[in-house]
Amino acid sequence: MNRTQIYLNDFEKKALDVLCARTKRTRSSFIREAVDFYLSHNNVSEGDDVFDKSYGCLVSISKPDRKEWSERERRFF
């Protein structure tokens, strides 16, 4: 589990505190539950990330070889 900080406005904090008092749960447990709910309803799963989706997307892009980069570097510096 990772630790993070969030900012809550006064209403959010007070409303969470009421829920916590009623249910004997922590603020963090409600926040984690809300994040899990949001992610599950927005087609985001644990395996989804930018690296997985972008793997191999630049294969067709041509790039200069090292000699060309060295020549460019020599001219500019």
Per-residue pLDDT at 49: 67
Instruction: Give the global pTM.
Output: 0.55
Task: Find out whether 67 and 74 touch, Cβ atoms under 8 Å.
Answer: no
Best-predicted range by mean pLDDT (17-21, 36-40, 63-67): 17-21
Tokens 């090292």, residue located: 66
Question: What residue spans define the domains of the chain?
Answer: 10-76
When pLDDT is averaged across residues 18-46 and rounded to a whole number, the result is 90
Portion of the chain with pLDDT greater than 70, in percent: 84
- Residue 41: how many CB atoms within 10 A of its CB? 8
Per-residue pLDDT at 73: 79
